[in-house]
Amino acid sequence: MLNFSSMNDFVMQKTIATSFMVEGKGLHTGEEVRVTLFPAAEDTGIVFQVIQSFRETLIPARFEFVAEGVRCTALEKDGITLLTPEHLLAACWGAGISNLCVQVQGRELPGGDGSAWMWWEILQRVGIKVQEAQQPIFPISRVIGIEVGKQSLFAFPAERIQVIYLLDSTSHGDFAQVVQFKEGEDFTSVARARTFAFEWEVENIIEKDLGLGVRNEALVFGRNGSSNRLLRVPHEAGLHKILDLLGDLMLFGPRVCGGFLGIRSGHRLNRLMIERLRREAQDYAN
């Protein structure tokens, strides 16, 4: 793996100190699933061992295996699809974990309360092991912009990860919020931010049988920004979008170093951005 590091300090690879098991309902499917996380050796990356009925495959958390997901990220290999790995991956980003074996018995990771808090709390409890190898870093060297309809996502050079996100209700109301997060800040607020939908999206979500595992937890926002549940943190919806972006960026491979500006963006633009960054990395290597 190429080392693109331009940071002044060395970022070492990490894994968990001991294994642990989690059971719960899939965020979208609502199906019971069992997940066991194991420490992994240096340069392993994050790998999912997916067991579905009598079939089994290993799916690395890499962009090559990203499949089209509906309101989530999905990974696919050998005809087996795994849904919603992004919240676990975001918790791994926050903890600096680069090597992990994740055994999943089911079609989806447990949704918890719709945030990454379950994963973040467990990672802190089991402990983090610093390894000997350096974590490859890819620095963003120029401004990159992606726009699809009314959604935009920009990347730009920065010494560390920083994300600014604008969320609004577009033509449906007057609701708007801007939130930001910088690497080195307390990750707790990001980890606790729950998944959400706008009230005009709910009927479609129900028709498609999505969000079955978190319907008692997820936030629903009205046209004026009012929520059906008490917010845990200010701008919780925008912070969840940052959570998703950080989780999706883990699929790039090397840890990305740079800034991002998201305007109504989501998983689709996150995937397109990673694809652009991969091309940048190939040009860099050549």
**Which domain CATH number covers 182?**
3.30.1700.10
Q: Give pTM, 2 decimals.
A: 0.92
Burial class (CB in 10 A: 0-12, 13-18, 19+), 158: middle
* 170 in the same domain as 125: no
Domains in the chain, number? 2
Domain shared by 195 and 207, yes or no: yes
Encode pLDDT of 148-187 as tens digits. 999 999 999 999 999 999 998 776 667 788 999 999 999 9
Short-list 86, 28, 19, CA closest to 205: 28
Q: Which domain holds residue 245?
A: 137-285
Same domain, 159 and 265: yes
What single-letter DSSP state applies at residue 30?
A: -
- Does residue 35 belong to any structural domain of this protein? yes
Asked whether residue 121 is assigned to any structural domain, the reply reads: yes
pLDDT of res. 216: 77
Tokens of 182: 């910088």
CA pair distance 286, 172, nearest whole angstrom: 47
Where do we find the tokens 């974990």? 97
* 117 and 166 housed in the same domain: no
pLDDT digits (tens, 9 = 90+) for 179-234: 999 999 999 999 999 998 888 887 887 787 777 777 777 888 888 888 888 999 88
Provide the pLDDT confidence category of residue 5 given band limits of 50, 70 and 90.
very low
Closest CA to 1 of 31, 30, 42: 42
Phi and psi for 147 in degrees, rounded to 5? -135, 130
**Structure confidence at residue 286 (pLDDT):** 58
Kindly compute the dihedral angle of the four CA atoms of residues 28, 29, 32, 35, in this order, to the nearest 10 degrees: -60
Query: Do 157 and 123 belong to one domain?
Result: no
Count Cβ atoms below 10 Å from residue 95 Cβ, excluding itself: 19
My answer on whether 165 and 48 are in the same domain is no
Judge if 28 and 91 occupy the same domain. Answer: yes
pLDDT of 4 over the 60 cut = no
- State the catalytic residues: 267
Domain end: 114, 134, 154, which one? 134
> Do both 35 and 159 map to the same domain?
no
- 174 & 123 share domain: no
pLDDT confidence of residue 137: 93
Q: Which tokens in the block code for residue 252? A: 């790039």
In a domain, 193, yes or no: yes
250 & 277 share domain = yes
